[in-house]
Every structure is written in structure tokens, then in C-alpha cells.
Structure 1
Amino acid sequence: MHRGSDLTMPDPWMPQAFKMDVGDHAPCDPAFPAKAIAHITADRRATAAAPLDLVPFANLKSFFTGSGKGRAPHILWDPFTGAFAQFFPATSRSKALFDAAGGVRTNRAGKVVIQIEALFFPHCRVGGQVFGRLVDTPCEGWDDLNAWIRSWGVPDVWPMGRPAALSRNTCPVGIWTSRGGWYAHAHVPENDHVDPGSWPEFAPRPEPPPGERRFEPFPGVSFFQPGRRSPVIAAMRGRLIAEDCDRYTSSTGIDVWGPGDVRSYAAWQQKLGLQGASADGRPGRFSWDRLGVPRVGL
């Protein structure tokens, strides 16, 4: 799991994603505008008359870190749960597109070319319900994904139109090389796929109303040093206790980072399903954002 990050710069690893680095990084081409590519996994063939169960997220994680490394995207997204796994940093090309020798370098033609595989196939069955299109799913986590990709300068536009059907619409090379934004796999030159068939609308960017309750942003890994005194630590302690992760042995120094905070925060990380070095009691962005520490003074 990715840990802290510089809040003033785009993060190469999506803070909400499980970091599953497969290595073999290679640069993109900054001579071209930033892009995002939308795919679906389409890993089973189903019909309205014969739906099939969705393949588990863990299976696809294992595939893209194993035998499917050579076809891995940047991000695997489960639109039913909001889970993410990331296999390459945003600054590297990934390998989810066919790239012809001497062609338009489909995986690299942009300052970034961030590729997303949504865990979905038409007529998949989840919890007894059948879903014909990606946009029919809950699209959990889409706001976080859209925001992270925006942070890399990818504009909220579809140069070839937002996908609305499983059909091919190959992008002219002139548009591909000159216009940033979102492209369907069905749009990418040199490829022959028709996915994703649909994609959610871009997430709104609302400003919170004045006085609305806000949460403390992640202060960074270096903030959590022994002896650090801050009302943020006291607010965090209250949330850990509320989440039944109280491993404190003293009621004094509630605003000072110490061993009780480490034990209690590790319990919170374990509650989120983290293990090993990702559950060592040192806060990272992923776990902090999910804890929801109230902003001090509000």
C-alpha cells in the first residue's frame, strides 16, 4: 500500500490504491498532451439470457502481477466496491494497449497516458443483480479516480466523444497526437477493441458550503514523530477510539504522538485489511483519508 505523499504535487501512486508495482517502468513522451484511456476487463462472455458472476478483484490483481504483467494497466478499478490496485506509477507507460512497431506509441504518447481497467463485463452478476453497462454499476470510487487523474493535467474532455456503445471509432492520428483528455480503448489508433461501451460522467467539483464539517487533510508521514504535540493528534485519537481501535494505556498527553498512538493506529490499519509494513502504526494517506479526522476547530 502506498503511504504518504507531497500534497502540493501530483502523486505518481494513487493514494487510495493498493500499490502493486510490477517494475519495468519506462517514460512517457512529454511532447504530447496528457491522456487517460478507459478500458473494461471484459474477462468473461455473458449475455442478457445467460449472465455470469463477476470475476473477483483479487483474481485480476493476481493476473496483472503475474502472467498478465505484459498487459497491465496503471489502475485496476472495482466499480462495485471502490477498490483500486495500481501496477505502474503515473509517470511510466503501462502496457494495456497494443503498440505497433514504428507507430504512434499508443502507451506513451502523452505527458502521462494513464490507463484504467474497470472490473466489468456486460451482463455480469453481482449480489444477484445483473449489470448490462458499466454506468449501471454503483461506480464506487469514481470521484477519487477522476480527481487523481485530473491532478496529472488530464482534462475532463472526450476528444472522440464519451463512449456510449460497444463499437469501434478509431481516432485520427492528428487528434491523437494533438488533443489531451479521455479516450476509450475503442478510440485508440492501432487497436481493434470496442470497449468500454460506457463510462461515468466526470465528477463534479463542488465547493463545500460555509461552515460544513470538514476533515483534516493528511499531514504527511514526517508529521508523526515521537513527541509531536498537536490538536490534530488529539482529534485522531478520538476517531481511533470511536472505531474500536483503542490501544492506549494512558489518558494523559492525548495531543502528543507516542507509543499508544502507534498501537492504536496499527489496529485501525489492520481493520482496513492492511498487513505487514502497511500496518505498522505509521499513518499513510490511504488509511488517514478513511479515518475521517475532524478538522481542528470545526
Structure 2
Amino acid sequence: MPEVWMPQALQMDIGDHAPYDPGFPARAIAHITGDLEATAQAPLDLVPFANLKGFFTGSGRSKAPHILWDPFTGAFAQFFPATSRSRAVFDADGGFRPNRSGRVVLQVEALFFPHCRVNGQAYVRLVETPCKGWDVLNAWFSSWGIPNTWPMGRPTSLSRNTCPDEKWKSEGGWYAHAQVPENKHVDPGTWPKFPSQPSEPPPVGTQFEPFPGASFFQAGRRSPIIAAMHGRLVAEDCDRYTSSTGIDVWGPGDVRSYTAWQLKLGLEGSAADGIPGRFSWDRLGVPRV
């Protein structure tokens, strides 16, 4: 049986457990916390992860999801076991009871709102964040039989797209809060792509180059680390190089190829700019030189 409590999450059981309606397929529901209203002209600092943990274990217990996810740090907190419904969507009297309608209905709230500011940088869409931990989260959801599909399409904007009744009854997979019947919300706006198999962590015991920092990757930098990275990108079918010379020198071919790797991991926007970050670097598994 899959893990009832996500191993990587802080376990913060708030009680109030209740069963699912197993006549429906397994599904996931994606949310953003949307705590503050910011604009491009006036971005606001992201609400601390600890504040949201306190909310969902306190006054916000009646709105708690299974998982709170910080896409900037990869931190998780879990408020309900996977075997219990959570409370993050509205259930109409006599309706589908969307919190329950599935063999499982796992719900996750990403700590995010449009134009939030983290370390001085503003982010407009969730997919522009580092999305740290998304592969771990997705793997745990998948272990509960939730298919990596979006029956109503992966969300691309903050707008309603309500799922028809028959589709909700018959098709499992991932749904945006904006797509859930009986609800009016428009979140999450965007959501990262499903990870591909190469995003699995490298085998335990193998020696890899630690992340040297984004500032290491400057035009003209020569290093055996870059040559080793080159080899891994080629092995992962992310070869966007136009020359086989100078493989130890950072250049445009490295940027193109590393962008292909970031996209393969499901990263988008500024998180797929061709400059290595810790998350993508650790997943690439560059051999120690």
C-alpha cells in the first residue's frame, strides 16, 4: 500500500477524517494559496510557509488541503492522511461532494499568488517559480493511482473552465480548482508539467559534482565540470549543440541544451532559462571530475 503520509512532508494531522466516495476515479486537485492581491506595479512579499501552516491547523482548518507545498524551497506540510478526504473545495448539499468523489481525491495548495516577491524577484505565474519538489509531490500522488493527465487540460490562466458532470464522474487525473464542479474559484492559473522519467534522483552512492552556483556559468568559462555536464545533457537526449569542439567551455550550445533539460523536468518561464539551478543540477547527476 502507498504511504498514507507523504514521507517528505511535515505531518500535522488536524483530525476531522472522513471517507471517500470510491465509485469515482482517483483524482488530484491543484490550488494556489492566493493569500494577497499584488500587481506588477506593486508586488508583495510571499507569505511565509509557517504562516500558512498555522492557518491550516488553526482558523483555516475547514479549508485545509492534504498538502501545502512551497515551490520555492520544496517544503511540504500534510494535514490529512491520503485515506481521508480534505476540505479545500466547496461541497454543495446534494451534489458530487468534490472533496470525496474519488477512490482518492488528493489536494495540494502551492504557496503562491501572482506578483509575489521572493528574494527581491517577482513571479507572475506558478510555473515561473523553481517548482522545487514537484517531482517528489507528483510521485507520491501517482503512487495512489492518480494518472498524469488533465481531463480538462492543464491550466494556463486564472479563469473558470468547469468540468461537465459526466467527465467528472468518469475521468480521473489532475483537475484545477477552476475546473471543479460546484465551485467558483479560478486558481491555480498555471501548473508545472508532469515530470519525465529522467527527473528521478541519481542512484545512491554515486559521486556527483555539487552545484557550483549559477554565477559559475559565465560565457567563456572553461572547466572539466562543464565538459561532464555536456556529456550528461547528450545522454539525456538534450543535445542542442552545433559543434563537438570546446565542450569544456560554457557557451550558447550549453544554454540551449540546458534549457532542453529544464523543459524536460517540467520547468517553464524564467525557471527554464538555460542557466543551471540547484534543483535541475541535482537531477542531472553530473559525475564528479
TM-score, with structure 1 as normaliser: 0.67
Distance 1:207 1:165 in 2: 26
Deviation at 1:214, TM superposition (A): 2.5
Q: Does residue 48 of the first structure (1) align with residue 40 of the second (2)?
A: yes
Q: Does residue 171 of the first structure (1) align with residue 163 of the second (2)?
A: yes
Q: Does residue 91 of the first structure (1) align with residue 83 of the second (2)?
A: yes
Instruction: Give yes or no for contact 2:25–2:103 (8 Å, CA) kept in 1.
Output: yes
Match of 1:82 in 2: 74
Q: Does residue 119 of the first structure (1) align with residue 108 of the second (2)?
A: no
Q: Does residue 198 of the first structure (1) align with residue 190 of the second (2)?
A: yes
Q: Does residue 161 of the first structure (1) align with residue 153 of the second (2)?
A: yes
Instruction: Give yes or no for contact 2:12–2:78 (8 Å, CA) kept in 1.
Output: yes
Match of 1:24 in 2: 16
Deviation at 1:213, TM superposition (A): 4.2
Distance 1:160 1:106 in 2: 15
TM-score, with structure 2 as normaliser: 0.69
Match of 2:98 in 1: 106
Structure 2 letter corresponding to 1:14: M
The residue matched to 2:52 in structure 1 has which SS? Answer: helix
Distance 1:207 1:83, change over 3 A: closer
Distance 1:48 1:94 in 2: 33
Distance 1:70 1:214, change over 3 A: same
Match of 1:180 in 2: 172
Distance 1:208 1:72, change over 3 A: closer
- Residues 77-129 of structure 1, C-alpha deviations (whole Å, 9 max, x = no match): 00000000000011100000000010011100000000000000000000000
Deviation at 1:206, TM superposition (A): 3.0
Distance 1:111 1:215, change over 3 A: farther
Match of 2:30 in 1: 38
Unaligned segments of structure 1, at least 5 residues: 1-8, 217-298
Structure 1 letter corresponding to 2:45: D
Instruction: Give yes or no for contact 2:14–2:80 (8 Å, CA) kept in 1.
Output: yes
Structure 2 letter corresponding to 1:161: G
Task: Give the aligned CA root-mean-square deviation in angstroms.
Answer: 1.6
Match of 1:214 in 2: 204
Distance 1:213 1:38, change over 3 A: closer
Match of 1:60 in 2: 52
Distance 1:215 1:94 in 2: 38
Instruction: Give yes or no for contact 2:135–2:199 (8 Å, CA) kept in 1.
Output: no
Match of 1:146 in 2: 138
The residue matched to 1:143 in structure 2 has which SS? Answer: helix
Unaligned segments of structure 2, at least 5 residues: 207-289
